[in-house]
Amino acid sequence: MVAKKSVKTVFEAIESFFSRPETFPSEDTERAFTEVSRGIPVLIADKCIGCSLCALSCPAQAITMIPGGKRMLGNRQVEIKNPSFDYSKCIYCGLCAQVCRQNAIEMRKNVDPIIIIK
Ligand code: SF4
Ligand code: SF4
């Protein structure tokens, strides 16, 4: 039994030696960003109704609600707040986009990766 486990471990070691690494060299930011990342959260302001659900759900406290001007909601004009993302705190988990019922947050990859460097 022990011998069987040892053989399996050796095969796993050989396999992982020849497989592509899970990590990326730090200078290969663009590849890491396009292949692995979920993208960065971007607000589609005209869909946002200012409910704050994204800010309340953010595990990194990376979202602050800031004044977003006046919007017509139904037949009423109201002052709303919009989320503002602090990309130095964001962990790019995508939760804000998932919880938003208005689909007002998109995780985008077509953004200059330079802005995600912390
Ligand atoms: S982005 Fe979505 S979840 Fe966040 S405040 Fe706007 S509507 Fe609410
Ligand atoms: S992607 Fe995650 S960490 Fe970044 S703002 Fe959204 S919920 Fe917060």
pLDDT score for 117: 44
pLDDT digits (tens, 9 = 90+) for 33-77: 667 778 899 999 999 999 999 999 999 999 999 999 888 878 989
> How many Å apart are CA 25 and CA 6, to the nearest integer?
31
Distance CA(46)–CA(81), nearest Å, equals: 12
* pTM (predicted TM-score): 0.71
pLDDT at 24: 57
Reading the block at residue 44, the tokens are: 């589609």
Q: 48: Cβ below 6 Å to ligand 1?
A: yes
Tokens of residue 42, six digits: 């971007």
Which amino acid residue places its CA nearest to atom 2 of ligand 2?
93
Distance 4 CA to ligand 2 centre (A): 44
- Within 6 A (CB) of ligand 2 lie 41, 58, 60, 62-63, 85, 90-96
If you measure from the C-alpha of residue 94 to the centroid of ligand 2, how many angstroms do you get, rounded to a whole number?
6
105 CA from centroid of ligand 2 (Å): 10
